[in-house]
Every structure is written in C-alpha cells, then in structure tokens.
Chain A
Amino acid sequence: MSIRISQIDKRYGRTRALEPIDLDIHDGELIGLLGPSGSGKTTLLRIVAGLEQADGGSIHFGDRDVTRVHVRDRRIGFVFQHYALFRHMSVFDNVAFGLTAMPRATRPSSGEIRSRVMQLLEMVRLQDFAQRFPAQLSGGQQQRVSLARALALKPDVLLLDEPFGALDAKVRQELRRWLRHLHEELHFTSLFVTHDQEEALELSDRVVVMSNGRVEQIATPDTLYRQPANQFVFEFLGDVNRLEGDVEDEVLTCGDARVAVPGVENGRQELLLRPHETRLEEQPDTRAHLPVSVTAVVPVGAEVRLELEADWLGEPWLATIGHAEFERLDLKRGRRLFAKPSRLHRFDTPRPQTLAPLATS
C-alpha cells in the first residue's frame, strides 16, 4: 500500500517540530528517515502511525484518507525502539495480542490464532520460545518478537522507530540483513527511522534526510552519497575534511599551503572533501602544495585511517589509504608528507560543485 504525505506540519508550543512536509512512498518500498536527534523524523513517523496528531496536512494510505482515522483503525504495524513488549505476557500471547483483541464477531478461532502465531514465530525463528517471557530473551530476540507482533494483523504499512538502536553492533548487522530479506519476501510498505547513516544506506530503497523539521533530500542511497543536495547532507553522510582559504587566480592559499581550484572565483572560500578523496605523496607538485604531518595511524580492516595535522588547518583531517600505499610511504606518526586532494566539493554555490584539482586539463 502506498503512502502519500502532503503538507504535514507540527508544532509543540512555539517550537516548530515539522515544516510542511511532502513525501510519496510507493507500494512495497522500504524508506529510511535519517537525521540527527531533534530533526523531526520520529515525530513524522508517529504522525503517520496516528500516535501523534499533525497540525495540518493529510496522509493517505493508497486511496484511503487516514488523516482523521484513529491509530487503532489505521491498520499499521509499529515497532518501538525499546520493543515495548507486554512484560507480563508470554511471547506467544504478545504475538497473539492483536488477534485476540479483535471484537468477538471478527476474531478468528483460537485454533486459527494458534497456527497464525506459530507461523509468525517460525518466521522470526523463535518457535521454541513461545512460552518464554520477554525478560527471558535477549534484546535481538525481543525485537524479533515485536516484529512478529506488528506483522500479525497483516498491516498495510510497517513503521519502525529506531528498531535496532538499542542493540549491539553485531546483532544490529544481523537483524538488518534479516529485515531486508523479510521485506523482499513479504513486500510490505515500510518506513523506518534511524540516526545511523550506514543503516539507512544499507536498508533503504530511498532515504529521506531530515534536519530541523525539514526534508533536506530524498534519494536512493547511491545518489545521496554521490550527489548530496547540500552541505548538511554531505556532512551527515560521512566524515568530512574542511579546507578554507583565499582564492586568487584559481589558486586557493591558506598559510603556506596552496592548491589549484579550477573555476573557483576569487575571494574567501570553503571547500570540503571526504577522507578517501586525498592522496599522500613525499613531494609537492605545481598544483598542490599541502604540507601535513601524520599524528595518528589506525589500521581498520582493508584500509588504514590517518589523522593529519598542519599549521594551516583549523581541525585535523582524516585520510583513508590502502595497505599498499601505507607500506610504500613508510607511514608512522610524525611523518611529514603532502596531501593531494583528488576531489573538492563546494556547496555555497546555487548548485553543489565538484572540482578535480589534480586532473590534467
């Protein structure tokens, strides 16, 4: 079932929690709402669920206008960050709750409920835990119970509020993959909230980046990473290095550092780059003369992370290089080298720009 959010806004007293927001979610899509805390993502999710009332705008599930429909009649499944399982009920009773709470006239027979619940527990691989209580399960297991419970009524849409936020890294990874599979299998329309960019990029068909109650960009993970709409998105989606200086004749100067910036007009400018968008060399060249010294070396898996400092830098740069480079340059703390940015990004122009200072023109 598709979801159409139009002009939804929300205030808490004088603070504006959501600017009017528009969002179209296609049938069967998995959408991630990504943003820092206080960006309004959870508020938006709770408004879609009906747990919170919007001040204006409308929400449609398919052709059904649900703006004024009570939560209990919206046919949603909701998964809470801290699971919100009924602590005094067994796993079985938790999953069965939605079915047993139906009015007598429409309620399935207890045999049907039993087989439906067992089928759901099998799906979340917890069939052996039916008689346990929530307190006797691990966090990951509890979250799976909560998912089974949310899916028991075959909801039109599934909403998840930071579903893996309270779990440790490895379990989170596992559950993510598992949710992705489940989604591919069952094709429910789904909206989830996260502040973890990796999670959003890995799970979502499309990501909605939010900040300060506004939508900054809606795009596929791929586009988002490669063509961020603005500086906020660029900075939120990964580590960022900053280069600030005065440009004259397409050369940016900052203390004893300088680099060619083709096409950039004169004046004070700020340019940004990702840690993997710089190389390190022993000698400067005519296009880039950016002396740095290595202050930290951290090998992480397939790459080596470096921290670089220099007089001309406000805050240190991060750089990631391959192990081959690492050995070639004989890297250790205190080594003096020259940075050579392969790409630089600008966001103060009407459209974001990417420069390639080292490309031979």
Chain B
Amino acid sequence: MVRIGDAPRVRRLLIGTALALTTLFLLLPLVAIFAQALMSGIDVYWQNLSNAYTLSAIGLTLLVAAITVPVNLIFGVFLAWLVTRFDFPGRRLLQTLIDIPFAVSPVVAGLVYLLLYGRNGWLGGWLDAHDIQIMFAWPGIVLVTLFVTCPFVARELIPLMQAQGSREEEAAVTLGASGWTIFRRVTLPNIRHALLYGVILTNARAVGEFGAVSVVAGAIRGQTNTLPLQVEQLYQDYNTVGAFTSASLLALLALLTLAAKAALEWRATRRETAT
C-alpha cells in the first residue's frame, strides 16, 4: 500500500511537528502552572492551599460540580431519548433550543439570570419577600452553571442515538423486556462512551466556568468565590503564587478527570475482549 507522506523523511517531519506543537501549546503551559505554583517552595504552596478563602473556593467548586453533573446527566439522557425516539410537534425547535447555551456568551447568560432572579428582577421581588436568596449565593452559581453546561451530554448523545436508530430497543420490547430493562441492558451499553465523554465535558466546564459565574457570584471572598474566580482575584491582588496555586488545583482536577475517563475506557475494552 502506498500512503501519502510515507517517505521516512516526511514521516519524521510530520511526527516531529506534531510533537513540537503539542509540547508548546499543551504540555508547556501545564508544566508552567505547577512551576509557578511551586516557585516559592512547597511550604508556601501549602500555605496558599490551606488558606481559608481557597478552601472555601474548593468546597464551592466541588459543590457546584456535584450538583451540576448528575442533574445534567439525567437531563441530557432524557432530552436525547425524547428527541431521537419520539416524533412530536416542536421536536426540531427543541433540538435548536438545546444549543442556546452554546450560542450565547456566558456573560450574557449570567446577566439574564441576574435580571430574572436579582433583587430588582422579575422573580426577585417574590423571592426576596420569601427570604430566598439566589443571586450572590451558591444557588445562583449552580443555576448559571447548569445553564451553561446543559447541552454537553445531549449534544454527545443525539447524533449517536440517531445513527443507531431504535431497532434494538424495538427488538428488546418484542422480547418482553420492560422499559427499565431496555434502558439498562440495551440503550445504556450502546451509548456509554458518548455518555462518559459528555459527563467529562460537563464536569470540566462546571469546574472551570468563569464568565457566567462571575456575574452572579458577586465575588464575596470565602463565600461565593469558585476556584476560577479565586484565581482571578488573587492575580489582581498581585499574588501570583497564590493565583497559580489555585490554578494548579484546577489543572489537577482536569488531569484527574482525564485519568478517570482513560481508566473507565480501558476497563470497558478489557471486559469486551475478555468475553
């Protein structure tokens, strides 16, 4: 077989370029984050980390992710199921609506929520009267993060489920399987890779979202600062080491997610080849 670019010299050049670019654009910044964070030694790093404000930012970020990911996982699966398995008026409109969070700038999303739930907003008066605070508190941050991340799972699943069609599910129902059994034993195994990928994207965005959160959080140190906001604030305070310490946590979270994904995929392929 003749492949274009199979000559040894061309091949070396291509591989070399790819490696150089990966190092320059992906690996180097990652290393830089940790290098900057540990610049003044491990003790300072540890001090910055155990700072009360940073700890609160970590807690809030994890809380937001812990609520957002499961909610959007379930929402995404339902939506993809609805759009690909049923035909109803407004189906196409719904499919377009899913993309709104992608199309709209996160800052605008934050502003819209402020307009709705803020003290002077449409629902704000009622909420205030009942002593429910959403804006400038964690519920507001969760709400905008849910908004910003809601398309990821559905967007991963819809094309796949459309391509797979519903024949296998129909076959399962003719064999007497209940709805839950069909989902668990037929649908879920077929979509699990896409689902996993959707969850990882959702998680990454939920942890890292800046724009929308910064509008509704109000940047109250130790109360409504998530990690990305904390990074920005520390940087503004000329605390470079502190900023990079928080940034290194975000990078670490990203690496952990990727490792989890790789592990799950590895396990899945091993199980398949074993049988």
Contact surface of A with B, Cβ cutoff 8 Å: 49, 51, 71-73, 76-78, 80, 82, 84-88, 90, 97-98, 101-102, 131, 146, 149-150, 152-153
| A76 contacts B174, C-beta separation under 8 Å | yes
Known: A101-B181, A131-B275. A87 touches B176 (CB 8 A): no
The 0/1 profile, CB within 8 Å of A marked 1, for residues 156-192 of chain B is 0000000000011011111111100100011001100
Contact A101 B177 (CB under 8 A): yes
Contacts of A80 in B (CB 8 A): 167, 170-171
* Cβ-defined contact, A72 with B176, below 8 A: yes
Cβ-neighbour of A78 out of B171, B189, B190 (below 8 A): B171
Beyond A82-B167, A97-B172, 6 additional pairs, beta carbon < 8 A = A71-B173, A72-B174, A72-B177, A78-B170, A87-B190, A98-B176
Contact of A88 among B167, B170, B181, B189 (CB under 8 A): B189
Q: Is the CB of B168 within 8 A of A84?
A: yes
* Residues in B whose Cβ lies below 8 Å from that of A87: 168, 190
Shortest Cβ distance from residue B214 to the other chain A in the assembled complex, whole angstroms: 43
Query: Does B167 lie within 8 Å of A71, measured CB to CB?
Result: no
Q: Per-residue 0/1 for B263-275: is the Cβ within 8 Å of any A Cβ (1 yes, 0 no)? A: 0000000001001
Query: Within the assembled complex, what's the spacing in Å between the Cα atoms of A121 and B190?
Result: 24
CA distance A86 to B169 in the complex (A): 9
Binding site for A on B (CB under 8 A): 167-168, 170-178, 181, 185-186, 189-190, 272, 275
Q: How far, in Å, is B53 (CB) from chain A's closest CB?
A: 48
Inter-chain contact B173/A84, CB cutoff 8 Å: no
Taking the closest CB of chain A, its distance from the CB of B172, in whole angstroms, is: 7
Set of chain A residues within 8 Å of B173, measured between Cβ atoms: 51, 71-72
Complex CA–CA separation, A80 to B167 (angstroms) = 8
Would you give 6 A-B contacts (Cβ < 8 Å), ordered by A?
Answer: A51-B173, A72-B177, A84-B170, A86-B185, A101-B178, A101-B181
Q: Which residue of A lies closest to B192 (CB)?
A: A88
Q: How far is the CB of B125 from chain A (nearest CB, A)?
A: 46
| Across-interface contacts of A49 in B (CB, < 8 A) | 174
Known contacts A73-B176, A101-B181, A153-B176: A88-B190 contact under CB 8 Å: yes
Do residues B168 and A72 form an inter-chain contact, with CB atoms below 8 A?
no
> How far is B167's CA from A77's CA once the two chains are assembled, in angstroms?
14
Residue of B nearest to A70 (CB): B173
User: Closest residue of chain A to B171, judged by CB?
Assistant: A84
Query: CB-CB < 8 A to B168: which residues of A?
Result: 84-87
The answer to whether B174 touches A86, judged by C-beta atoms less than 8 angstroms apart, is: no
Given contacts A87-B190, A88-B190, contact A98 B170 (CB under 8 A): no
Cβ–Cβ contact A86 & B275, under 8 A: no
Chain B residue nearest to A159 (CB atoms) is B174
Say yes or no: B190 contacts A72, CB within 8 Å: no
For A84, give its contact among B167, B176, B177, B189 (CB under 8 Å): B167
Q: B175–A149 contact, CB under 8 A?
A: yes
Chain A, Cβ-Cβ closest to B176: A72
Q: How far is the CB of B264 from chain A (nearest CB, A)?
A: 15
Q: CB-CB < 8 A to A131: which residues of B? A: 275
CA of A80 to CA of B176, assembled, Å: 16
- Give chain B nearest CB distance to A175 CB in angstroms: 19
Closest to B175 in A: A98
- Across the interface, which residues of B come within 8 angstroms of A85, CB to CB? 168, 171
- How near does chain A come to B171, taking the closest CB pair, in angstroms? 4
A149 to B170, CA, bound (A): 13
Which residues of A sit under 8 angstroms from B170, Cβ to Cβ? 51, 78, 80, 84
- What separation, in Å, do the CA atoms of A152 and B171 have in the docked complex? 13
A80-B170, A86-B171 are known contacts. Are A101 and B176 too (CB-CB below 8 A)?
Answer: yes
B37 → A minimal CB distance (Å): 43
Q: Of the candidates A51, A82, A97, which one forms a contact with B175 in the assembled complex, judged by CB atoms under 8 Å apart?
A: A97
Chain B nearest CB from A265 CB (Å) reads 53
**CB-based contact A77/B174 at 8 Å:** yes
Looking at the assembled complex, report how far the CB atom of B196 sits from the nearest CB atom of chain A, in whole angstroms.
14
Contacts of A76 in B (CB 8 A): 174
